[in-house]
Amino acid sequence: GMSLIGKSGVMSRGGDATTTTSDKYEGPTGPQMLEYIRSYGIRLVVDDFHYITMPVQRALAQQFKEGARKGTTIVLVSITERSDQVIRANPDLRGRLLTIDIPFWTKDELRQIPQQGLKVLNVDAHIDVVELFTQESLGSPQVMQALCLEICRFWNLEEAYPTPRTMTCPPGAAQ
């Protein structure tokens, strides 16, 4: 991917990708990229910030501090246990961040995913399927969606059935 501070990366200019493999990165600097993002009203979202190595986090946090000071909206997505890493990377950001904790979904909320989604596909999921998926999803809607996708793949369900069908758990799945 593209790096604001890295030595190499992929730049996209008007749909054309230019790959840089030299030791010297010659594309826009981090501040230039952040100014571009700000000037077009784009919000920068960095997912899985906690996976970035600490030296790179430090460099990014310094650039993000300046970009945010100039009005760039920057969202860092991280797991709750590591949400303070940006502060560790740059203590000057203390008091400048807003942490938003997203709670786990309730079982009732999770049940709506297969109930509503499979209804659109003309499938009535047996209660065992819904309950198994609710337990296995561990409060995560993303896991529930992945489970629903896998059951659709198992049943070769690529589009809505013309007539209603009932779906049961695959053999051995409810163990």
State pTM to two decimals.
Answer: 0.52
Average pLDDT of the residues in 108-129: 90
* pLDDT tens profile 37-84: 999 999 999 888 888 888 998 888 888 888 888 999 888 888 777 777
pLDDT above 80: residue 9: no
Q: Using N-to-C axis directions, what is the helix angle for 141-154 and 127-136, rounded to 10°?
A: 130
Confidence of residue 171 (pLDDT cuts 50, 70, 90): low
Confidence of residue 11 (pLDDT cuts 50, 70, 90): very low
Planar angle of CA 71, 75, 78, nearest 5 degrees:
155
Cα torsion 109, 115, 121, 126: sign: positive
How far apart (Å, rounded) are the C-alpha atoms in residues 35 and 70? 8
Q: Mapping DSSP to helix (H, G, I), strand (E, B) and coil, where does residue 67 land?
A: helix
1/136: higher pLDDT = 136
How far apart (Å, rounded) are the C-alpha atoms in residues 69 and 34? 11
Report the C-alpha dihedral over residues 10, 13, 16, 19, rounded to 10 degrees: -20
